[in-house]
Chains A and B, each alone.
Chain A
């Protein structure tokens, strides 16, 4: 079974430029998550999708961040314009949408973003 795929793995951009990250979850996983992990910290949830619906985007900075999950499979996370403080690793995870007590999330390798 293929794991969660993310691209690109690394991205370096100038501040104020746009950037986009792509995620392909494990086949059959209905729930998709985007996290941001700052250096030396644990991941923090940005948005959670159930199929194509964003069911929790309370932590997504909506002035500059946007996300979509067309057809309930792949997902794209976009930042426009990027700021210096956006430098972090952006992780995508997926799960089968089982019961909350047993739902295991599977993580991709992440995209390391550096904003200069």
Chain B
């Protein structure tokens, strides 16, 4: 069974600081690794999807890396803004099944 862990559970940073969110997974036989954002009371929004053959993906200020051999992925958010405050979840895909971590709740202070 795939186990996904996200550390830390919560993070508070001043505006402008770069964010580093960590995700680890136990089963390296994944199809892809996905990062989602969840705002309070809302569903999940897909941010980045890294296929198993890729090392990283970038979208604007977001960059995600994947190291399958060590079972780790990292999401970097450059120059954080108050609007980046949310919970960020990673999910490892085995076939069509996504196994989620519990998330990292980020607060960006103005």
Contacts and interface: CB of A to CB of B under 8 A. Distances in A.
Interface of A: 4, 31, 40-45, 48, 56, 91, 93, 95, 100-110, 112
Contact of B97 (A56, A101, A110, A112): A56
Interface stretch (B13-21, B42-50, B61-69, B70-78): B42-50
B98 A45 contact: yes
A101 to B, nearest CB: 5
A100 B95 contact: yes
B34 to A, nearest CB: 8
A56 B96 CA distance: 10
Interface of B: 4, 31-32, 34, 36, 41-46, 49, 51-53, 89, 91, 93, 95-103
Given A42-B4, A101-B52, A102-B51, A31 B44 contact: no
A107 B100 contact: no
A40 B36 CA distance: 15
